[in-house]
Amino acid sequence: MEQPNLSYINDLAAGDESFKNKLIEVVKDELPVEIEIYHSNMNSSAFAKAAENVHKLKHKLGILGLVDGYETAIAYEEELKLGKSSLKTEFESILVACNHFINDL
Amino acid sequence: MNCIIIDDEAAARTIVAHLCSQVDNLDVIEEFPNAISAMKFLNRNDIDLIFLDLHMPDFSGFDFIETLKNPPKIVLTTSDKNFAIEAFGYDCIVDYLLKPITFPRFLKSVQKAQKEKVTPRVAAAPAAPVVKESTALVEKELYVNIDRRLVKILFEDIYLIEAKGDYILIKTEKKNYTVHSTLKKIVEKLPDSLFLKVHRSYIINFKKIIDIEDNSVLIAKNVIPISRSNRPELMRRLNLL
Protein backbone atom coordinates (compact mmCIF):
# COMPACT_ATOMS: atom_id res chain seq x y z
CA MET A 1 0.00 0.00 0.00
CA GLU A 2 1.17 3.49 -0.84
CA GLN A 3 2.59 5.29 2.17
CA PRO A 4 2.31 8.98 3.14
CA ASN A 5 5.53 10.89 2.54
CA LEU A 6 7.04 14.36 2.46
CA SER A 7 7.91 14.51 -1.25
CA TYR A 8 5.38 17.25 -2.07
CA ILE A 9 6.21 19.29 1.04
CA ASN A 10 9.97 18.95 0.37
CA ASP A 11 9.55 20.03 -3.26
CA LEU A 12 7.46 22.99 -2.20
CA ALA A 13 9.80 24.02 0.61
CA ALA A 14 12.90 23.70 -1.59
CA GLY A 15 15.14 23.72 1.49
CA ASP A 16 13.14 26.30 3.44
CA GLU A 17 12.99 24.40 6.76
CA SER A 18 10.97 27.10 8.46
CA PHE A 19 8.18 26.87 5.87
CA LYS A 20 8.36 23.06 5.90
CA ASN A 21 7.88 22.95 9.67
CA LYS A 22 5.11 25.52 9.52
CA LEU A 23 3.16 23.55 6.91
CA ILE A 24 3.64 20.29 8.82
CA GLU A 25 2.30 21.94 11.97
CA VAL A 26 -0.76 23.24 10.10
CA VAL A 27 -1.44 19.77 8.68
CA LYS A 28 -1.00 18.26 12.15
CA ASP A 29 -3.58 20.71 13.48
CA GLU A 30 -6.12 20.41 10.69
CA LEU A 31 -6.04 16.77 9.64
CA PRO A 32 -7.25 15.14 12.90
CA VAL A 33 -10.12 17.64 13.14
CA GLU A 34 -11.17 17.02 9.54
CA ILE A 35 -11.01 13.24 10.09
CA GLU A 36 -13.14 13.53 13.20
CA ILE A 37 -15.79 15.58 11.41
CA TYR A 38 -15.79 13.06 8.56
CA HIS A 39 -16.33 10.13 10.99
CA SER A 40 -19.07 12.01 12.78
CA ASN A 41 -20.93 12.58 9.52
CA MET A 42 -20.45 8.97 8.43
CA ASN A 43 -21.73 7.74 11.79
CA SER A 44 -24.92 9.69 11.28
CA SER A 45 -25.15 8.62 7.60
CA ALA A 46 -24.86 12.22 6.46
CA PHE A 47 -23.24 11.18 3.18
CA ALA A 48 -23.52 14.55 1.44
CA LYS A 49 -21.69 16.25 4.29
CA ALA A 50 -19.17 13.42 4.45
CA ALA A 51 -18.52 13.94 0.72
CA GLU A 52 -17.61 17.56 1.49
CA ASN A 53 -15.27 16.34 4.23
CA VAL A 54 -13.63 13.88 1.83
CA HIS A 55 -13.23 16.73 -0.65
CA LYS A 56 -11.21 18.66 1.90
CA LEU A 57 -9.29 15.58 3.09
CA LYS A 58 -8.36 14.87 -0.53
CA HIS A 59 -6.09 17.92 -0.51
CA LYS A 60 -4.38 16.68 2.65
CA LEU A 61 -3.70 13.33 0.97
CA GLY A 62 -2.11 15.22 -1.91
CA ILE A 63 0.02 17.25 0.50
CA LEU A 64 1.17 13.98 2.08
CA GLY A 65 2.30 12.71 -1.32
CA LEU A 66 -0.45 10.14 -1.83
CA VAL A 67 -1.11 9.92 -5.57
CA ASP A 68 -3.24 6.75 -5.52
CA GLY A 69 -4.88 7.83 -2.25
CA TYR A 70 -5.89 11.09 -3.90
CA GLU A 71 -7.56 9.17 -6.74
CA THR A 72 -9.35 6.93 -4.23
CA ALA A 73 -10.62 10.04 -2.47
CA ILE A 74 -11.97 11.44 -5.76
CA ALA A 75 -13.88 8.22 -6.45
CA TYR A 76 -15.10 7.96 -2.84
CA GLU A 77 -16.31 11.58 -2.80
CA GLU A 78 -18.33 10.94 -5.96
CA GLU A 79 -19.93 7.76 -4.61
CA LEU A 80 -20.80 9.41 -1.29
CA LYS A 81 -22.65 12.09 -3.25
CA LEU A 82 -24.77 9.24 -4.62
CA GLY A 83 -25.33 7.82 -1.14
CA LYS A 84 -22.93 4.88 -1.63
CA SER A 85 -19.86 3.97 0.42
CA SER A 86 -18.16 0.93 -1.12
CA LEU A 87 -14.73 2.61 -0.81
CA LYS A 88 -15.22 3.42 2.89
CA THR A 89 -12.79 0.80 4.24
CA GLU A 90 -10.10 1.59 1.69
CA PHE A 91 -10.38 5.35 2.26
CA GLU A 92 -10.42 5.05 6.03
CA SER A 93 -7.29 2.88 6.01
CA ILE A 94 -5.56 5.72 4.12
CA LEU A 95 -6.69 8.13 6.83
CA VAL A 96 -5.27 5.85 9.52
CA ALA A 97 -1.92 5.73 7.69
CA CYS A 98 -1.92 9.54 7.39
CA ASN A 99 -2.70 9.96 11.07
CA HIS A 100 0.15 7.64 12.09
CA PHE A 101 2.51 9.41 9.71
CA ILE A 102 1.84 12.92 11.00
CA ASN A 103 1.97 11.76 14.62
CA ASP A 104 5.49 10.45 13.99
CA LEU A 105 6.72 13.69 12.43
CA MET B 1 0.73 43.16 -8.10
CA ASN B 2 -1.13 42.76 -4.81
CA CYS B 3 -3.32 39.79 -3.99
CA ILE B 4 -5.47 38.15 -1.37
CA ILE B 5 -6.05 34.48 -0.59
CA ILE B 6 -9.48 33.09 0.23
CA ASP B 7 -9.61 29.50 1.44
CA ASP B 8 -11.26 27.87 4.44
CA GLU B 9 -8.34 25.44 4.75
CA ALA B 10 -5.33 26.82 6.67
CA ALA B 11 -2.93 24.42 4.91
CA ALA B 12 -4.08 25.70 1.52
CA ARG B 13 -3.63 29.35 2.58
CA THR B 14 -0.16 28.52 3.94
CA ILE B 15 0.85 26.91 0.65
CA VAL B 16 -0.46 29.71 -1.57
CA ALA B 17 1.11 32.39 0.64
CA HIS B 18 4.44 30.56 0.43
CA LEU B 19 4.17 30.25 -3.35
CA CYS B 20 3.42 33.98 -3.60
CA SER B 21 6.51 34.74 -1.54
CA GLN B 22 8.57 32.98 -4.22
CA VAL B 23 7.43 35.39 -6.94
CA ASP B 24 8.82 38.91 -7.40
CA ASN B 25 6.32 41.76 -7.16
CA LEU B 26 3.49 39.62 -5.83
CA ASP B 27 2.42 40.74 -2.39
CA VAL B 28 -0.15 38.97 -0.24
CA ILE B 29 -2.14 41.76 1.41
CA GLU B 30 -4.51 39.56 3.39
CA GLU B 31 -5.70 35.99 3.86
CA PHE B 32 -9.33 35.06 4.55
CA PRO B 33 -10.83 31.79 5.82
CA ASN B 34 -14.24 32.64 4.34
CA ALA B 35 -15.81 34.67 1.57
CA ILE B 36 -17.88 36.99 3.79
CA SER B 37 -14.88 38.60 5.44
CA ALA B 38 -13.19 38.93 2.03
CA MET B 39 -16.28 40.65 0.60
CA LYS B 40 -16.11 43.31 3.29
CA PHE B 41 -12.40 43.81 2.64
CA LEU B 42 -12.91 44.11 -1.11
CA ASN B 43 -15.56 46.77 -0.63
CA ARG B 44 -12.85 48.99 0.83
CA ASN B 45 -9.66 47.93 -0.94
CA ASP B 46 -8.38 47.62 -4.49
CA ILE B 47 -6.86 44.27 -5.24
CA ASP B 48 -5.20 43.04 -8.45
CA LEU B 49 -5.56 39.32 -7.97
CA ILE B 50 -7.50 36.85 -5.82
CA PHE B 51 -6.54 33.24 -5.20
CA LEU B 52 -9.96 31.82 -4.54
CA ASP B 53 -10.96 28.39 -3.28
CA LEU B 54 -13.99 27.03 -5.09
CA HIS B 55 -15.38 24.95 -2.20
CA MET B 56 -16.13 26.83 0.96
CA PRO B 57 -18.77 26.28 3.61
CA ASP B 58 -20.60 29.65 3.32
CA PHE B 59 -20.89 29.71 -0.42
CA SER B 60 -18.87 28.62 -3.39
CA GLY B 61 -16.18 30.58 -5.19
CA PHE B 62 -18.62 31.13 -8.08
CA ASP B 63 -21.23 32.50 -5.66
CA PHE B 64 -18.60 34.84 -4.30
CA ILE B 65 -17.64 36.11 -7.77
CA GLU B 66 -21.31 36.80 -8.50
CA THR B 67 -21.39 39.26 -5.61
CA LEU B 68 -18.47 41.35 -6.90
CA LYS B 69 -19.32 44.48 -8.86
CA ASN B 70 -15.92 44.82 -10.53
CA PRO B 71 -14.11 41.56 -9.90
CA PRO B 72 -10.32 41.69 -10.08
CA LYS B 73 -8.40 38.92 -11.80
CA ILE B 74 -9.09 35.60 -10.11
CA VAL B 75 -7.16 32.35 -10.00
CA LEU B 76 -9.34 29.51 -8.75
CA THR B 77 -7.74 26.97 -6.48
CA THR B 78 -9.57 23.69 -6.10
CA SER B 79 -9.27 19.93 -5.71
CA ASP B 80 -12.07 19.45 -8.22
CA LYS B 81 -11.47 19.08 -11.95
CA ASN B 82 -15.16 19.25 -12.79
CA PHE B 83 -15.66 23.00 -12.81
CA ALA B 84 -13.05 24.09 -15.36
CA ILE B 85 -15.61 24.71 -18.11
CA GLU B 86 -17.88 26.73 -15.83
CA ALA B 87 -14.84 28.67 -14.61
CA PHE B 88 -13.91 29.92 -18.03
CA GLY B 89 -17.39 31.36 -18.46
CA TYR B 90 -16.18 34.16 -16.18
CA ASP B 91 -14.01 36.81 -17.82
CA CYS B 92 -12.29 37.61 -14.54
CA ILE B 93 -11.02 34.04 -14.01
CA VAL B 94 -7.57 33.82 -15.53
CA ASP B 95 -6.64 30.33 -14.41
CA TYR B 96 -7.75 27.21 -12.58
CA LEU B 97 -5.21 25.57 -10.27
CA LEU B 98 -5.67 22.03 -9.05
CA LYS B 99 -4.57 21.28 -5.49
CA PRO B 100 -2.02 20.31 -4.36
CA ILE B 101 -0.42 23.20 -6.26
CA THR B 102 3.15 22.97 -7.54
CA PHE B 103 5.43 25.97 -7.98
CA PRO B 104 5.88 25.68 -11.80
CA ARG B 105 2.10 25.55 -12.31
CA PHE B 106 1.56 28.40 -9.85
CA LEU B 107 4.13 30.56 -11.64
CA LYS B 108 2.36 29.99 -14.94
CA SER B 109 -0.88 31.27 -13.40
CA VAL B 110 0.72 34.40 -12.07
CA GLN B 111 2.37 35.09 -15.42
CA LYS B 112 -0.99 34.65 -17.06
CA ALA B 113 -2.62 37.04 -14.59
CA GLN B 114 0.08 39.63 -15.23
CA LYS B 115 -0.43 39.44 -18.99
CA GLU B 116 -4.19 39.32 -19.14
CA LYS B 117 -6.11 42.50 -19.18
CA VAL B 118 -9.48 41.83 -17.64
CA THR B 119 -12.35 43.76 -19.02
CA PRO B 120 -15.28 44.22 -16.67
CA ARG B 121 -18.17 41.95 -17.33
CA VAL B 122 -21.30 43.73 -18.50
CA ALA B 123 -24.08 42.61 -16.23
CA ALA B 124 -27.06 41.27 -18.10
CA ALA B 125 -30.11 43.48 -17.91
CA PRO B 126 -32.49 42.06 -15.33
CA ALA B 127 -35.59 40.49 -16.73
CA ALA B 128 -38.83 42.33 -16.15
CA PRO B 129 -40.40 41.08 -12.94
CA VAL B 130 -43.22 38.68 -13.47
CA VAL B 131 -46.11 38.98 -11.07
CA LYS B 132 -47.32 35.52 -10.24
CA GLU B 133 -50.99 34.73 -10.21
CA SER B 134 -50.39 31.85 -7.86
CA THR B 135 -52.25 30.65 -4.86
CA ALA B 136 -49.43 32.16 -2.81
CA LEU B 137 -51.11 35.54 -3.22
CA VAL B 138 -54.04 34.42 -1.13
CA GLU B 139 -52.42 31.77 1.07
CA LYS B 140 -50.62 32.73 4.22
CA GLU B 141 -48.74 29.50 4.75
CA LEU B 142 -46.87 26.69 3.13
CA TYR B 143 -46.97 22.97 3.92
CA VAL B 144 -43.73 21.04 3.70
CA ASN B 145 -43.13 17.31 3.90
CA ILE B 146 -40.82 16.47 6.79
CA ASP B 147 -40.42 12.86 7.94
CA ARG B 148 -43.76 11.92 6.32
CA ARG B 149 -45.59 14.74 8.11
CA LEU B 150 -46.97 17.83 6.43
CA VAL B 151 -45.74 20.70 8.54
CA LYS B 152 -47.30 24.14 8.26
CA ILE B 153 -44.97 27.14 8.06
CA LEU B 154 -46.35 30.67 7.99
CA PHE B 155 -44.84 32.83 5.26
CA GLU B 156 -44.40 35.70 7.67
CA ASP B 157 -42.22 33.51 9.95
CA ILE B 158 -39.75 32.65 7.21
CA TYR B 159 -36.78 34.97 6.93
CA LEU B 160 -34.43 32.98 4.73
CA ILE B 161 -34.40 30.01 2.39
CA GLU B 162 -31.06 28.54 1.45
CA ALA B 163 -30.15 25.99 -1.24
CA LYS B 164 -28.19 23.04 0.17
CA GLY B 165 -27.48 20.62 -2.66
CA ASP B 166 -30.62 18.55 -3.23
CA TYR B 167 -32.25 20.19 -0.20
CA ILE B 168 -33.40 23.60 0.90
CA LEU B 169 -33.07 24.99 4.39
CA ILE B 170 -36.06 27.09 5.44
CA LYS B 171 -35.13 29.34 8.33
CA THR B 172 -37.85 30.77 10.55
CA GLU B 173 -37.66 32.72 13.78
CA LYS B 174 -38.66 29.61 15.75
CA LYS B 175 -37.11 26.71 13.88
CA ASN B 176 -35.22 25.63 10.78
CA TYR B 177 -36.59 23.05 8.34
CA THR B 178 -34.58 20.96 5.88
CA VAL B 179 -36.76 19.94 2.96
CA HIS B 180 -35.98 17.87 -0.13
CA SER B 181 -36.72 20.47 -2.81
CA THR B 182 -35.14 23.24 -4.87
CA LEU B 183 -35.24 27.03 -4.74
CA LYS B 184 -36.82 26.99 -8.20
CA LYS B 185 -39.76 24.92 -6.91
CA ILE B 186 -40.35 26.82 -3.69
CA VAL B 187 -40.13 30.25 -5.28
CA GLU B 188 -43.30 29.41 -7.21
CA LYS B 189 -45.13 28.87 -3.92
CA LEU B 190 -44.02 32.10 -2.27
CA PRO B 191 -45.73 35.48 -2.54
CA ASP B 192 -43.78 38.10 -4.51
CA SER B 193 -44.90 40.67 -1.99
CA LEU B 194 -42.61 39.12 0.66
CA PHE B 195 -39.91 37.08 -1.01
CA LEU B 196 -37.12 37.72 -3.44
CA LYS B 197 -34.30 35.57 -4.77
CA VAL B 198 -31.20 37.68 -4.18
CA HIS B 199 -28.66 35.06 -5.13
CA ARG B 200 -28.70 31.67 -6.81
CA SER B 201 -28.48 30.03 -3.38
CA TYR B 202 -30.71 32.36 -1.34
CA ILE B 203 -34.29 33.62 -1.17
CA ILE B 204 -34.97 36.27 1.46
CA ASN B 205 -38.08 37.65 3.07
CA PHE B 206 -37.27 41.26 2.40
CA LYS B 207 -39.54 42.46 5.20
CA LYS B 208 -36.97 40.91 7.55
CA ILE B 209 -33.97 42.81 6.23
CA ILE B 210 -31.96 44.58 8.91
CA ASP B 211 -29.56 46.38 6.61
CA ILE B 212 -27.98 46.25 3.20
CA GLU B 213 -24.31 46.87 2.64
CA ASP B 214 -23.39 47.19 -1.01
CA ASN B 215 -23.38 43.52 -2.11
CA SER B 216 -24.71 41.80 0.99
CA VAL B 217 -27.82 41.91 3.11
CA LEU B 218 -28.15 41.26 6.84
CA ILE B 219 -31.14 39.12 7.87
CA ALA B 220 -31.31 37.99 11.51
CA LYS B 221 -27.64 37.13 12.08
CA ASN B 222 -27.06 35.98 8.51
CA VAL B 223 -25.01 37.95 6.02
CA ILE B 224 -26.37 37.00 2.62
CA PRO B 225 -24.66 37.84 -0.67
CA ILE B 226 -26.59 39.72 -3.34
CA SER B 227 -25.84 38.84 -6.96
CA ARG B 228 -25.24 41.77 -9.27
CA SER B 229 -28.08 40.64 -11.51
CA ASN B 230 -30.56 40.49 -8.59
CA ARG B 231 -29.56 43.72 -6.88
CA PRO B 232 -31.60 46.09 -9.13
CA GLU B 233 -34.83 44.21 -8.37
CA LEU B 234 -34.11 44.25 -4.63
CA MET B 235 -33.45 47.98 -4.70
CA ARG B 236 -36.61 48.55 -6.73
CA ARG B 237 -38.70 46.77 -4.10
CA LEU B 238 -37.35 48.75 -1.16
CA ASN B 239 -39.11 51.80 0.16
CA LEU B 240 -36.08 54.04 -0.27
CA LEU B 241 -35.97 57.53 1.18
- Report pLDDT digits (tens) over B41-83: 988 899 999 999 988 876 778 888 888 888 899 999 998 877 7
Cβ B9–A58 below 8 Å, yes or no?
no
Which stretches of chain B sit within 8 Å of chain A by CB? 9-12, 14-15, 18-19, 55, 79-80, 99-100, 102-103, 165-166
Per-residue confidence (pLDDT) for residue B116, from 0 to 100: 63
pTM for the model stands at 0.67
Amino acid A19 reads: F
pLDDT digits (tens, 9 = 90+) for B74-130: 999 998 877 777 777 888 999 999 999 999 999 999 999 988 644 433 333 333 333
- From chain A, pick out residues whose CB is under 8 angstroms from the CB of B165: 48
pLDDT digits (tens, 9 = 90+) for B193-203: 888 999 989 99
Question: In chain A, how many domains are there?
Answer: 1
Cβ B100–A30 below 8 Å, yes or no?
no
Q: Does a structural domain hold residue A74?
A: yes
List % helix, strand, coil for chain B (3-state, nearest 5): 30, 35, 40
Cβ B79–A19 below 8 Å, yes or no?
no
Q: Does a structural domain hold residue A2?
A: no
CA distance B8 to B235: 31
Which residue of B15, B55, B165 is in closest CB contact with A23? B15
Query: Residue A17 is part of a domain; what is its CATH number?
Result: 1.20.120
Per-residue confidence (pLDDT) for residue B125, from 0 to 100: 34
How many residues are present in chain A?
Answer: 105
Q: Does a structural domain hold residue A1?
A: no
Q: Positive or negative CA dihedral for A46, A47, A51, A56?
A: positive
Which stretches of chain A sit within 8 Å of chain B by CB? 8, 11-14, 16, 19, 22-23, 26-27, 29-30, 48, 52, 55-56, 58-60, 62-63
* Between residues A15 and B81, the one the model is more confident about: A15
Q: Which of B8, B114, B109 is nearest to B57 (CA)?
A: B8
The domain segmentation of chain B, as residue ranges, is 2-115, 135-237
Q: Is B135-237 the same fold as B2-115?
A: no
CATH annotation of B2-115: 3.40.50.2300
Cα torsion through A89, A35, B106, A81, rounded to 10: 60
Cβ B79–A62 below 8 Å, yes or no?
yes
Nearest residue on chain A to B100, alpha-carbon basis: A62
Amino acid B117 reads: K
- On the 0-12 / 13-18 / 19+ scale of CB atoms within 10 A, B199 is buried
Per-residue confidence (pLDDT) for residue B58, from 0 to 100: 65
pLDDT digits (tens, 9 = 90+) for B27-42: 999 999 988 889 889 8
Q: Which of B169, B10, B58, B189 is nearest to A60 (CA)?
A: B10
Q: Is B55 left (phi over 0), alpha (psi -120 to 50) or beta?
A: beta
**Can you give the residue range of the structural domain that contains A37?**
7-104
CATH annotation of B135-237: 2.40.50.1020
pLDDT digits (tens, 9 = 90+) for A52-93: 999 999 999 999 999 999 999 999 999 999 999 999 999 999
Cβ B14–A26 below 8 Å, yes or no?
yes
Cβ B12–A59 below 8 Å, yes or no?
yes
CA distance B186 to B177: 13
CA distance B51 to B117: 17
Cis peptide before B120 (omega within 30 of 0): no
Cβ A55–B166 below 8 Å, yes or no?
no
Pairing of strands B202-205, B195-199: antiparallel
pLDDT digits (tens, 9 = 90+) for B128-184: 333 333 444 456 888 887 766 778 888 889 999 999 877 889 999 888 888 888 888
Average pLDDT of the segment spanning B215-227? 88
* Between residues A97 and B185, the one the model is more confident about: A97
Q: Positive or negative CA dihedral for A24, A29, A32, A38?
A: negative
- Reported as half-sphere exposure (CB side, CA atoms, 13 A), residue B66 has a value of 21
List % helix, strand, coil for chain A (3-state, nearest 5): 80, 0, 20
Cβ B99–A52 below 8 Å, yes or no?
no
Nearest residue on chain B to A24, alpha-carbon basis: B11
